[in-house]
Chain A
């Protein structure tokens, strides 16, 4: 299966609040919060580390979860966030992954 590379969009406002991330789209002001596991994936989304590695390395280490379920959960989560335009997903590493904020 192809690697998935994920990177945080720059067209957002975001801040950690007690282990959870608050994220607001700079395009349409939709507001989300990410739980601890989601926040861990989010913070590791540097465009260079494959998702599978983030899950195996960070998620499974820090949280008590079955690796296969964790990968599935992470993939679903990544799909959802990318639909909202706040996470960029590609099968190649994303270098300089910042779109200008006016493009969704």
Chain B
């Protein structure tokens, strides 16, 4: 492997979310710094990450006009495609490549996708929800854009640790789920805390005239959950697995409707 140019190799940046580390290796020192800064709080120190990606900072040769994200499995490799990047990941070897222009949003996307693929195999998932830890217990607040995720996050009292206002991370551990902080910021544009706690309740948000918690029928619960789970892959086997995971989740975790007035008093009933 001879090159006539002086090159420097550095340790990859290891980003640890939900206990799983992904190492990102780039030759470009300023991009390396950019990633380190963007994921502050989640940059791990353990040298041996489970998954490793090499980043190639060049415009993807086939820049498609189509901006939509595509994730599919081909010959044992996951292929991830969007307007600004191309990536591949081999789940057997845990190695992958990302070819992208010099922006961090591609990395965000690849990290979310890879984590969701790994979580899918173990019964967990990413979900459109805000999450916070209070009293050692985690609470999730789900809903589509405008349902109140950012609102309820902004209203959180000092004794609540905000994990995220947009994308929650749930890892399955036996018969319980652990909510983990992630660096993926929503409107609050604030990187979440890198901590985790067992999930106590999953709330479906609804703005209303008073603060109350209502039961939710099982089929509505599963439907609403499925609508909010982030899953990108066009893979029938995995999709089925995610559906099963959602059903198991509904049987193990209390899913309730949280009707709330957008002021701080709602947090009085979240315990």
| Chains A and B touch (C-beta atoms under 8 A apart) | yes
- A85 CB to closest chain B CB (Å) equals 13
The answer on a CB contact under 8 Å between A35 and B11 is no
**Contact B11 A77, beta carbon cutoff 8 Å:** no
Q: Inter-chain contact count A-B, CB under 8 Å?
A: 52
Q: Chain A residue with minimal CB distance to B8?
A: A32
Q: Which residues of B contact A30 (CB under 8 A)?
A: 10-11
Contact B5 A73 (CB under 8 A): yes
User: Measured between alpha carbons, how far is A41 from B11 in the docked complex, in Å?
Assistant: 21
CB distance from A73 to the nearest CB of B (A): 4
Partner of A64, one of B4, B9, B11: B4
Q: Do B7 and A32 touch across chains, with their CB atoms under 8 A apart?
A: no
**Do most interface residues of chain B lie in helix, strand or loop, or is the interface mixed?**
loop
Q: Does A37 reach chain B (CB closer than 8 Å)?
A: yes
Chain B residues positioned under 8 Å from A81 (CB to CB): 8
A34-76 vs B, CB cutoff 8 Å, 1 = contact: the mask equals 1111101100000000000000000100011100011001100
Q: Which residues 79-100 of A have a CB within 8 angstroms of B?
A: 80-81, 83-84
Q: Are B5 and A65 in contact, with the CB atoms below 8 A?
A: yes
Question: Is A32 in contact with B9, judged by CB distance below 8 angstroms?
Answer: yes
Decide: B10 and A37 in contact? CB cutoff 8 A: no
A102–B10 alpha-carbon span in the complex (Å): 22
Given contacts A80-B29, A83-B29, contact A63 B4 (CB under 8 A): yes
Give chain A residues whose Cβ lies under 8 Å from the Cβ of B9: 32-35
Residue of B nearest to A55 (CB): B6
| Interface footprint category on A | 20 to 34
Q: For chain B, which range describes its interface: under 10, 10 to 19, 20 to 34, or 35 or more residues?
A: 10 to 19
Contact status B3-A35, CB under 8 Å: yes
CB–CB A38/B6 < 8 A = yes
Residues of chain A lying within 8 A (CB to CB) of residue B6: 34-35, 37-38, 40-41, 59, 73-74, 77
> Is B4's CB under 8 angstroms from A77's CB?
no
A38 contacts B7, C-beta separation under 8 Å:
yes
B4, A70: Cβ atoms closer than 8 Å: yes
| Contact present for A65 and B4 (CB under 8 Å) | yes
Q: What is A's interface to B at a CB cutoff of 8 Å?
A: 30-38, 40-41, 59, 63-65, 69-70, 73-74, 77, 80-81, 83-84
Chosen A-B contacts, 5 in total, with CB atoms closer than 8 Å, are: A32-B9, A33-B8, A37-B5, A63-B4, A70-B4
Given contacts A64-B4, A83-B29, 14 further A-B contacts (CB under 8 A): A30-B11, A31-B10, A32-B8, A32-B9, A33-B8, A34-B6, A34-B7, A35-B3, A37-B7, A40-B6, A41-B6, A70-B4, A74-B6, A77-B6
Top-7 shortest CB links A-B: A38-B6, A65-B4, A77-B6, A73-B5, A37-B6, A33-B9, A63-B4
